[in-house]
Each structure stands twice: as C-alpha cells, then as structure tokens.
A = this chain, B = another copy of it.
Amino acid sequence: MATIADVADYTGLSRATVSRVINDYPHVSKDKRRLVHEAMKELGYFPNTSARNLRNRRTDLVAVLIPRLTNPFFTLILDGIEKVAEENGFQLIICQTKSSKKKELEFLNLLQTKQVDGVIFTSIENDWEQIQPYTDHGPIILCNEYHHDATVPMVRLNQVQGSYLGTKHLIERGHQRLAYCMGSTSGLSNDRRKGFFQAVNEAGLEVKAEWIFHDTYTMEDGVKTFNKILSLTERPTAIFTGGDEVAAAMVKEAKRNGLDVPGDIAILGFDDQPIASMIEPELTTIYQPGAEIGSRAMTIFIDCLKGKRERVRQSVMELPLSLVIRKST
C-alpha cells in the first residue's frame, strides 16, 4: 500500500505538503495541489486511519452499549444515535452486553485504550460506582437510563408522565377498576407505577391489591395474568400493561374467551411496537420516542467531546411519552 512518503517522493514534494493537501489546508499552491491529487490517484493512495488516529488523538469512534440487538426498542435508539453520528462523521461500534455486568465493563476497555472517543449506554447493569472511574477517559452518556448519582449527562424518557397519560386516558373512558400489570421492579417499573397511581389517586379511585400483577414479561405471562384477572370476582374493566406483546396476548386471550375489547375490557399497551397496529382491535398504546432520545444523546455526546459542554457533571434531559389512541380502549 502506498504511504504519504510514496506520494511525497512521487511528486518531489515533502510529506508536510502532501499532508496539507490531504487535509485541505490553505497555503498550498494550485499546481502542487493538483500534482498531489494526481499522484494520490495514480498510486492508489489512501491515508491510513490508524496513523491519523494516533497522531490526532481521536478516533471519531463511539461505543454504543446495547443489551440486545434484536430488541426493537433498542435498535430504534441505535437508529437515532446513528443518524446524528453519520451527520457528524462519527462511526459506531456496537457492543452487545446481553445485560451482563462483566461484558459491560469489558467494553469500557475500549475507552481506556482509546479505541473509542467515548461511550453511550442505552442500558446499564453495573452500579455507578463501578462506572465512574471510566469517566476520566472520555465522555460517557446515559441514554434511556437514569442513575441517581451518575456524574454524566443523561437523556431519559419520562415514564411517570407516560403512564400517567395512559392511566388518565383509561379513567376518562369511564373505567373505575384498573388492573396494573408490570414486569420487573426496576427503576423503570417504579416510575410507571408512580404515574399510574398519580392518575388513579387524582381521580379518587381505589386499586385493590389483587389488581396489581408483576413478572409479566412475555406473551405467555400475559395469557396467564389475563386469566387470573378473569377469575377475579370483582373484575377490573381496564388493564394497564407493561408492553405491547403482553397487551397483544391479552387481547387474543380475551377474544378467545368471547370478550369484546374494548367493550367488555379495555387493554392499554406500551411501546407502540409494530404489533400494536397489526392486531384486531389495534392497540391503544404509549409511544416512547426511542430514536429521539438516541439522537439527543449523540448530540450531547458531540458537545461534550468538543468541550462545549461539561462532561463530568450530572445533567438530565427528559422527553415526554405520548398516547397513541387506537381501538383497544
């Protein structure tokens, strides 16, 4: 492969001048500029990125930590990140953590070894205490995650507001007995729970303990939980779910039981995934602007890198969720 020295020799100029041409610096005469361009083409020369990175102490590479590539919500975030990255000449390295603490830390090596300029987390497994030391080595942004004591910029979704919105919608449709059905008890769930009860309390409604369900992640879980709800003597007339899959499964199960949705029972999804508009009736659900938080996070990242923004100070940007009213409520 041809190097800058080859181009210099070929043209009879110095490496410095060739470099100036490559980087389009001023103070190079028209002829030499042309001469160099011709030589580059003639020799099939391309600047070596590793050499440039070494010298420039930058790689224009960003590591994006993502739990699962096959989770559409995270690829949506990735898509948003990519858009801004592409516009600004950054490349992304994908780091699939599979929600493993160990892997997460391993990927942070990329930062220490300067293989990347910085890191964007789209989910975080370790405690902040573990992550904090790495902030010395470059910008770290939390996207779709919130850690109380994190000393970096965070972009998150306002889950409280989102589930408040959805719950209020159910109440406005006249429902008095609401079931709440969630996955884990993570920070995300807590927020949603908070929004749910905020709306419920505001309306002066009561929610019985037996109307609250946890550990409902998959479609199978959804079917099980739905049947539990059916068997209740005082049965809720609306269900707030933690995801569209679960909601879709419930709709399916409701119809199998001869119930009309939303006539007999209303079901609210979460996430506005493709399924939401594919089933009958189409799901009313809550849209999370995944691409949007990705773009925002990347924009903030770039600002940090350019020093336009403090990178080791906590800052929180919160984006609202929105209600997508369809036919299931």
Residues of A bordering B, CB below 8 Å = 1, 46-51, 53-54, 59, 61, 68-70, 72, 75-76, 78-79, 82, 86, 91-96, 109-110, 112-115, 219, 245, 248-249, 252, 255-256, 274-275, 277-280
Contact = CB atoms under 8 A, between A and B. Distances in A.
A145 B119 CA distance: 32
Contacts of A61: 93
Contact of A245 (B70, B278, B279): B278
A172 to B, nearest CB: 28
Contact of A115 (B49, B94, B112, B245): B49
A271 B72 CA distance: 16
Contact of A110 (B51, B91, B92): B91
> Top 5 A-B pairs ranked by shortest CB distance?
A49-B115, A50-B53, A50-B54, A46-B112, A49-B113
A72 B68 CA distance: 12
Contact of A50 (B46, B59, B277): B59
A51 B49 contact: no
A47, A50, A94, A96 — most chain B CB neighbours (10 Å)? A50
Contacts of A78: 69, 94
A80 to B, nearest CB: 10
Nearest to A83: B96
Contact of A279 (B92, B96, B279): B279
Contacts of A112: 46
Contact of A114 (B49, B70, B91, B249): B49
Nearest to A71: B75
Contacts of A53: 50, 53
A94 B92 contact: yes
A217 to B, nearest CB: 14
A275 to B, nearest CB: 5
Given A69-B79, A75-B69, A91-B110, A51 B54 contact: yes
